[in-house]
Structure 1
């Protein structure tokens, strides 16, 4: 069961999503919001797997709102404005639905989300290929200590080296098995089995210190038991 929420300032748009979700027995629409700010507490608690998000809303632009979520779920953008598509995919969204969209097109977006959620919810891959400069480099997941989000790239810290790859931390997070990795800060994801110690808001991994953001602390403590 994939838990979803929808954010849109138009009632009719929310009604259409609710209707489409009701046709899919593997989807559960847990909440709908006309305001992004009202949805923020649920998103910060990790209350859903998939977010349907409008872009042009009066309180806050959907793209700006997405960038403000510390650990966003998978996102399908729903908008009447196709010009945001490139920015959406660069932000790591699953799909981009231009209103009005059919149920068939909606279903294709859901299938894309499922293909990402399966490795996150189950065992996940044993390795990834990341692009660095002009090469595709294989990185064994068991060798990753942590991932550090920089301004324009992600630094993958392994036991033997650091690999810089031009992507976002959220996009990288979607590829990692959720049982093995946890986001602990806006700029850091760590491998759970590589944590040596935690002292207040600092994680120790080998000789490195990783800060723990307040918004991520509760999830981290739950994950380590």
Structure 2
């Protein structure tokens, strides 16, 4: 069960959010809040796992509110303004919902938050995962630090592993499927038949492109669901 709060300055929206939350069996609504200051007061008094948060509110807006928190709970933005989506993504939002929100879309966002919540409840299992692996390069075994990976490009029987710390990629004989399985418990997404991308390195998502700063990589329609699982699109 996840404890959540709903924050919006419009009473009708709060009523709708509360109604939707009550329909989701793994959510418990702790309180409804009209503004960020009320929400901050609740966070000081209660254990809150998830915030449904409007952006445009009088005083402190939703983005500023999340930025003000040292250890914010998970957040799902619920707003009428799509132009703030990138800012929401940069604040590690679970999802970004545009008003009016259908219950189907609302439930999809809640399920995404619940998956993350369950992962957070198993810290010991995650701590035991190594943050590196070795690949065969010519006659050597080369260590690849997983947090250093930007993206991976497939080339028939070989892959190129592009790293933040190196100007040249590591080239090793390995299938994309094998590498995808190796990275399945980390924040990586297959975005194209020839590309796997680190979610934490993505700086922008366009209609058919994934951007890592100035690098543009293809995003295939058939792989968009993979990206949506780990990014608030």
| CA-CA distance at 1:45 after TM superposition | 4.8
2:163 aligned residue (104, 118, 135): 135
| CA-CA distance at 1:166 after TM superposition | 6.1
Deviations 1:94-118 (A, max 9, x none): 0000000100000110111011111
Separation of aligned partners in 2, 1:131 and 1:42: 38
Report the secondary structure of 2:116's partner residue: helix
Corresponding position of 2:67: 67
Report the secondary structure of 1:14's partner residue: helix
- Cα distance 1:22–1:90, how it changes in 2: closer, same or farther (>3 A)? same
Deviations 1:169-209 (A, max 9, x none): xxxxxxxxxxxxxxxxxxxxxxxxxxxxxxxxxxxxxxxxx
Deviations 1:137-189 (A, max 9, x none): 9xxxxxxxxxxxxxxxxxxxxxxxxxxx869xxxxxxxxxxxxxxxxxxxxxx
RMSD over aligned CA atoms reads 2.2
- Within 5 A, what are the aligned runs for 1:1-225? 1-45=1-45, 47-123=47-123, 124-125=125-126, 126-127=128-129, 128=131, 129-131=146-148, 134-135=162-163
| CA-CA distance at 1:41 after TM superposition | 2.5
Separation of aligned partners in 2, 1:136 and 1:116: 26
Tell me the matched-pair count: 140
Separation of aligned partners in 2, 1:108 and 1:131: 31
Deviations 1:32-88 (A, max 9, x none): 100111111222456200000100001111101110011100000000000000110
Separation of aligned partners in 2, 1:46 and 1:69: 15
Larger Rg: 2
**TM-score, structure 2 as length reference:** 0.55
Separation of aligned partners in 1, 2:71 and 2:101: 27
